[in-house]
Amino acid sequence: MSERITTPFGFGSTALEVVEGVDLSGRRAVVTGGASGIGVETVRALAAAGAEVTIAARDVEAGRKVAADVSATTGNGSVSVAPLELTSQESVKAFVAAWDGPLHLLINNAGVMASPLTRTPEGWELQFATNHLGHFTLTLGLFDALRAEGARVVNVSSAGHLSSPVVFEDIHFERREYDRWKAYGQSKTANVLFGVEAGRRWSGDGITMNALMPGGILTALQRHISQEELQERIRLRGGGDNPLQLKTPEQGAATTLVLAVSPLVEGRSGLYFEDCNEALPHAEGTTNGVAAYATDPEAAAQLWKVSEETVKVQA
């Protein structure tokens, strides 16, 4: 077993602090969901380090506003926007078809949380379709671009993965009662498992993939949650009388940037980070760490097979 990775950064670090002194000139990055929340600060930090950044967003107009703001604040004019709707396989494949040249950083950041039961036209449960299947199709579709010069793929997961493994017997809640938090949890577990199997399959292609918990950040991600429920979850996630400490979006994007640029992560795949450091195994009764089922190689291989069969895309 490799030694656990620790970095000079922690809970309060910001994305801009992580990239300070880092030169990403000549590197190309895609950030899904880069038009809101921690995605904006991820784009800003990558641009500040000199990367050419494409914001992949549902709302192209919002993306254009972010691109203009980031260019103005960083002096980097190489920030653009492209349409991407992760729940639409057609949209994802159109994005892939339009991409030209190498890709060095793919930040699978976009997501939906705790939504009411909603199905895509294919009948897929919305959270799994958005958080995992859309990113699976996108990443496999961009495989040749990623392989061209070696690349890092970063999946924004969540401590929410602790609420559920991937339930292969009924991923899309066709037979069991829908639970929006378990649906969210299994989609976030899938984000971690994706990196485990990618590490096995792609180690010879120079592509690495890792996942992270950004922290508790109040963004549009919570749009499906009432204020009362949100406050209760903040209390419970912190452990009763010690509420969860919230992060700013700038702090929430920091762990993403560690996985994207830190030399300490070079050549490593299938890891799960929180607060800018590799997470410890989850301990019963706590609300952090990584669940054993999220790094299980057999589950990772099964998820890949199921995902390929579902979206009919291979790499």
| Inter-residue contact 267 to 8 (CB < 8 Å) | no
The answer as to whether 314 is a domain residue is no
Q: Quickly state the pLDDT bin for 241 (edges 50, 70, 90).
A: very low
The answer as to whether 278 is a domain residue is yes
The answer as to whether 5 is a domain residue is no
The answer as to whether 284 is a domain residue is yes
Q: Look at the chain and report how many structural domains it folds into.
A: 1
- The answer to whether residue 25 scores a pLDDT higher than 70 is yes
Q: State residue 1's pLDDT score.
A: 62
- The answer to whether residue 215 scores a pLDDT higher than 50 is yes
Structure tokens at 233: 């979850």
Listed range (67-71, 179-183, 212-216, 242-246) with the worst mean pLDDT: 242-246
- E strand residue ranges, the chain: 28-32, 52-57, 79-83, 105-108, 151-156, 207-213, 216-217, 246-247, 272-274, 277-278
The answer as to whether 7 is a domain residue is no
Terminal-to-terminal C-alpha distance of the chain: 28
- The answer to whether residue 82 scores a pLDDT higher than 50 is yes
Contacts by 216-219 with C-beta closer than 8 Å and gap 24+?
216/244, 216/245, 216/246, 216/247, 217/37, 217/38, 217/246, 217/247, 217/248, 217/249, 217/251, 217/252, 218/246, 219/36, 219/37, 219/38, 219/249, 219/252
The answer as to whether 8 is a domain residue is no
The answer as to whether 244 is a domain residue is yes
- Statement: the pTM of the whole predicted model exceeds 0.85: yes
Rounded-to-integer distance, Cα 21 and Cα 54, Å: 22
Look up the domain containing 139 and give its range. Answer: 15-307
Rounded-to-integer distance, Cα 119 and Cα 36, Å: 23
The answer as to whether 268 is a domain residue is yes
What CATH number did the domain enclosing 183 receive? 3.40.50.720
Catalogue the active-site residues. Answer: 184
